[in-house]
Amino acid sequence: MVAKTRRQLAKLALLLLALLLLLAAILLCVFLIPRHHRRPLPPASPPGNASNPDDSIVAFDFSPYLIMYKSGRVHRLDGTARCSAGVDEATGVTSKDVVLDSGTGLAARMYLPPALGSRRRHPVLVFYHGGAFVIESAFTPLYHAYLNGVAAKARVVAVSVEYRLAPEHRLPTAYDDSWRALNWVARNAASGPEPWLRDRGNLSRLFVAGDSAGANIAHNMAMRAGTEVLDGGAAITGLLLLDPYFWGKQPVAGETTDPARRRQYEATWSFICGGRYGIDDPRVDPLSMPASQWQKLACSRVAVTSSGMDDFRPRGLAYAAALNGSGWDGEIEQYETPGERHVYFLDRPKDPNSIKELAFVTGFLTRE
């Protein structure tokens, strides 16, 4: 009887041991497989119209920004979050939203630095956000945080413009919206009724700036101001181009020569403007302008920043060199951050390189 019981216990022990070994094997599979082998699923496309077969056929894939379907439906993959205006606890900057044109929806977010005892007038900064002309907004957390930082450090009254995006509104809509916004700022800083601009802004120190596609817009606004008078006769003091989005048919020194890569940039530009402008058009390739055209750049100071690993870096450097060699009568400053990607400072504002770049931006905006 005792022997039989021992045999049964031995079998039970073996069974338990087998179960433990199986469990251990499962745990090994779960925890020891490298995480980079587990690829996240791509963002799901929002449901389309089941009755329209064109609603699921991709017409243009502009990943990682958006996908446009044959039906015209647009699915944005990034830059769609929004945040409210108000008082920023970290900087003390106050922001508010204003409508510039109710007919088109043209709007802006304004930023006012905290008072430091005296109600002195501040430089006025008109800022155009990036996002390849197709994503992002003046109201996204990314640009809200950046403008809070700039307004606090440089002590400027900032106006971040909410221009309309492609492909729903292809170029030149963004340019036209941006020009109307710049004139609205000039008008209100001169005589109101917008109190932050009328009472706190110093129109004699008007700056126009932007990053990436926004820098492209800022450049085109300064060029347009050379042929069209801004409201009230306002003059742009400085132009600040952060990692500007410029391209062209023929590569400049240091630019990629990969045919597929160049075709991709040419195709996306055509998508943005609906084929209205070629890749050699001065709107996207200022280097295509004759030297005499640079004289129309209506400002007295220009700053161009670049990031070492940015595809747009070589043409940004070439832009500064061309302007410098054109006979344009103004000051040019350049700032480069080696080893960084396109507009890195937006995603990592507390990074040491981002802090240094913000210090450069602050210096450019505050220097008398």
Please list the residues that pair with 294 across neighbouring strands: none
Single-letter amino acid, residue 50: A
Q: Please pick, among 137, 212, 306, 307, the residue that the annotation labels catalytic.
A: 212
Q: Is 270 a catalytic residue?
A: no
Give the Å distances, CA to CA, from 357 to 86, 116, 289, 306: 25, 24, 29, 10
Nearest-Å Rg of the Cα atoms of the chain is 27
Q: How far apart are CA 289 and CA 158, in angstroms?
A: 31
C-alpha count within 13 angstroms, C-beta hemisphere, residue 199: 8
SS (H, E, C) the chain: CHHHHHHHHHHHHHHHHHHHHHHHHHHHHHHHCCHHHCCCCCCCCCCCCCCCHHHHCEEEEECCCEEEECCCCEEECCCCCCCCCCECCCCCCEEEEEEEECCCCEEEEEEECCCCCCCCCEEEEEEECCCCCCCCCCCCHHHHHHHHHHHHHHCCEEEEEECCCCCCCCCCHHHHHHHHHHHHHHHHHHHCCCHHHHHHEEEEEEEEEEECHHHHHHHHHHHHCCCCCCHHHCCEEEEEEECCCCCCCCCCCCCCCCHHHHHHHHHHHHHHHCCCCCCCCCCCCHHHCCHHHHHHCCCCEEEEEEECCCCCHHHHHHHHHHHHHCCCCCEEEEEEECCCCCCHHHHCCCCHHHHHHHHHHHHHHHCC
Task: Supply the residues annotated as catalytic.
Answer: 212
